[in-house]
Amino acid sequence: MTHSTNDIWRLLSEIPDPEIPVLNIVELGIIRSVTLESDVFSISVTPTYTGCPASEFIDKEIKSKLLHARIAFDLKKQISPSWTTDWITDEGRKKLQDYGIAPPEQSSADKSLLTGDPKQVTCPQCKSRNTEVISEFGSTPCKSLFRCHDCLEAFDYFKCI
């Protein structure tokens, strides 16, 4: 059976992110490219950050999925340019919000830390912007913990990276 790059993208989109399983690794934006070179698919993956504990697990899942489909591949780690939340797809952002995690609202060029202005984040529950940061460190290193003053719910915010 002959496979296309579209087939590979589809297979990769079946692999959930282990830390945020509502997203797949394509929606997260860590799959940088899929190319066909001499009957071998070359797949480039950019980890969300250096030392991310999920990277090894994701690589194993990719290998397992493609080996099971009997696809010849070369898995490459691409560390430059660094991953950014700008690469999360629109569908991925919607899934985060529906799951109760506020998606990154600005680009990786977010300057609120430099200006000292409090970050305004939309509550994924009630859509209010009357929110405050509780902790810069949430359930994973890539998230902050916020609270909504209107619905009184705490929620994770996926940091702009």
DSSP the chain: ----HHHHHHHHTTSB-SSSTTSBHHHHT-EEEEEEETTEEEEEE--SSTT-THHHHHHHHHHHHHHHTT--EEEEE--SSPP-GGGS-HHHHHHHHHHTEEPP-S-TT--HHHH-PPPP---TTT----EEEEES--SSTTEEEEEETTT--EEEEE---
Answer yes or no: do 74 and 27 share one domain: yes
Which of 27, 62, 83 marks a domain boundary?
83
Reply yes or no on whether the pLDDT at 113 is more than 60.
no
Which of 42, 59, 83 marks a domain boundary?
83
Answer yes or no: do 12 and 79 share one domain: yes
User: Can you give the pLDDT at residue 23?
Assistant: 95
The answer to the question of residue 88 being in a domain is no
Higher pLDDT, 126 or 19: 126
At 108, is the pLDDT very low, low, confident or very high (cuts 50, 70, 90)?
low
Which of 83, 108, 128 marks a domain boundary?
83
Q: How many domains is the chain built from?
A: 2
Question: Stretch 16-42: mean pLDDT, rounded?
Answer: 95
Answer yes or no: do 120 and 71 share one domain: no
Higher pLDDT, 60 or 160: 60
Question: Model-level pTM?
Answer: 0.87
